[in-house]
Chain A
Amino acid sequence: MMTLSIEQLVPIPLKEKLNTRTSDVWLKNIKASSSEYISIQAPSGTGKTTLIHFLYGLRTDFEGNISWNNKDLDQFSAEEKAVLRATEVSVIFQDMRLFPELSAWENLELKRSITDTISPEEASEWMQQLGIGDKKNARAQTLSYGEQQRLAIIRALLQPFSFLLMDEPFSHLDNKNTALAASLIAQIVQRNNAGLLLADLDENNFFPYHKTYML
């Protein structure tokens, strides 16, 4: 079982600002296992995206510790980070981070081929399920934000994982598409026996959370 441990974490740019208010996450100790569903509620400017980037190892401008399976994230080599990202921790970025010049299918194939644990047929089925089955050959930059977000969600699911990190994953989707996407995510998270951590602006019930933290 994968564990996540956060100890006295504080982003250096927000350090002074955080002295004037309280947070359930910053400067606290949190432990989570891959069986848990965690919601992080975070008003704008409180460091929601920063937290996701810290946990995923994209930024290191923080004080405190983040450990995956009791190993400090700053001890991970580049290769170990690649293994962590390809097989243990997946992410849905708020800004999607697709390759704009590639087609929707190429974006998925690029991710799928890293571990080859999901078949192309299943990936294709998920596209149909989320209503973008006809966009396979469209360049990512020509898709609407909603379509890009659904594509980014599918991409994050095309690998084995113990934790799924999500940063406002449904911000560009209507209720119907949010429900479809959340249902697919729940199904795949369950299949992986994984935990999830979702950061969003408001309280939500996309998933049956075990813990909710105010950032």
Chain B
Amino acid sequence: MSPNKPVGILKKLLLRNTNQRRLISAWVALCIGCTLLLVSVMMWSVFQDLLQGKSSNDSLGSTFLTISKKVDDAAMANKEHAQFRAQDIKQIKSAPQVQDVGMLCPANFKVSASIGSGPMAFYTLLFLEAAPDRFMDQMPHSWQWKEGDNTLPIILSRDFLNMYNYVFAPSQGLPLLSEQTVKALGFTLTMGEGPNATNYRAQVEGFSDRISSVLVPQSFIDFGNNKFAPQVPLSISRVMIKVADPSDKAFTSFLEKNNYSTNAEQLRFSKMRSIVDIVSGATGALALLLMGIGALVFVLFIELTMSKAQASVQLLLQIGYSPKKLSRFLMAKYIPIMLSALSVAVLIAVSIQYIASQKLGSLQLNIAPLPSLFVWCAAACSGLVLLVQISYSIRKAIKS
């Protein structure tokens, strides 16, 4: 801009006192403040995503619990004492922290699995269960079965495979089995007994961290119970629940009061989740404070520059310059600087999220490669607040 053009002259007059070193310091402070704020919102959002169990991040999730009635002497004498009745389910649904309830449906008929023949043959009695799809942490594409299908998909608890590999196989001199090998092995499931016994070819399609069981599709359990044990009433002895905060005292006392048992380790882990919540909240508060300081440094820099140009501003007003025109001129100089700091902060936040998604992906923790809507909203809100602050400071400097 030529200094003889009016805008060039205004720039020379009003911004000649801009100390470049101070400008860079103010920019860096603002950029750091914005970055910390956006990254903390991003962290909070990622934690929420992981902890609310929207994806299959069960290792952090633990909002899914399997509960059963404690097996006491009464239950030993009468199996029905260990089973859930309809009113129990209703009561659980309205328990504190409980968001969803699903029943694990067992197969009421005898099942055995066998593989190979001759001296290398393997045979074991087995049980089967079905869980509602919304409670599954693994959902292979082939997770369906209808009458007439040749192959039955199975999801095995990862704990079972671990126990085989680390405890059972070494003690029995058996070979270790990788997940890929188990998935590749087809085996035969025999349903029922006597002349009604029917064989099905089964294939392990995945491993679950969430549900300790041998899972098959619900349609197969319904079919099998109907075909092989039509007289046996459906009995539910394990229930899955989704809870917001399993460490909540009201919830744990509900479990104790009703004599329900669950994995206590999961409850402890959920306490850790509460700690993560508190830490991410505290980080957010700290980031907000630093953002405030960054914004303050930037605004003070503007006010300092404006106070040095105060005499010129007053004289410009005296010769007929409109306060709005001067405001617009100064805003046009400072807003791009603010936006550049915010843009760099957004870029850093996007990069961190992308890198984190790549790194965590290898740990089976799936987070989105781009920041959530919360981060974009935080960026937009920060921009808006800064815009208002800068506009206020400039108008105040022109008025005074």
Contacts and interface: CB of A to CB of B under 8 A. Distances in A.
Interface of A: 56, 58, 78-79, 82-83, 85-87, 97, 99, 101-102, 105-106, 109-111, 113-114, 155, 159
Interface string B301-327: 000000000001001111111111100
Contacts of A110: 6, 9-10, 13, 316, 319
B9 A97 contact: no
A106 B16 contact: no
17 contacts: A79-B322, A79-B324, A82-B317, A82-B323, A85-B318, A97-B315, A99-B312, A101-B16, A102-B9, A109-B9, A110-B316, A110-B319, A111-B320, A113-B6, A114-B320, A114-B321, A159-B320
A105 B4 contact: yes
Contact of B322 (A58, A86, A106): A86
B12 A102 contact: yes
Instruction: Give the one of B5, B10, B12, B399 with max A CB within 10 A.
Output: B12
Contacts of A155: 319
Contacts, number: 57
A102 B14 CA distance: 11
Contacts of B319: 85, 97, 110-111, 114, 155
B4 A97 contact: no
A58 B323 CA distance: 15
A26 B316 CA distance: 29
Given A97-B315, A99-B13, A99-B312, A106 B320 contact: no
Interface size classification for chain B: 20 to 34
A97 B318 contact: yes
A102 B4 contact: no
B40 to A, nearest CB: 41
A90 to B, nearest CB: 8
Residue of B9, B320, B321, B324 with most partner-chain A CB within 10 A: B320
A88 to B, nearest CB: 10
Contacts of A102: 9, 12-13
B323 A106 contact: no
Nearest to A112: B6
Interface string B8-26: 0110110010000000000
A119 to B, nearest CB: 14
Contact of A78 (B6, B9, B323): B323
Looking at B5, B6, B323, the one whose CB has the most chain A CB atoms below 10 A away is B6
B397 to A, nearest CB: 13
Given A83-B322, A109-B6, A114-B320, 17 more contacts: A78-B323, A78-B399, A79-B324, A82-B320, A82-B321, A85-B319, A97-B315, A99-B312, A101-B13, A102-B9, A102-B12, A105-B4, A106-B9, A106-B12, A110-B6, A110-B316, A114-B321
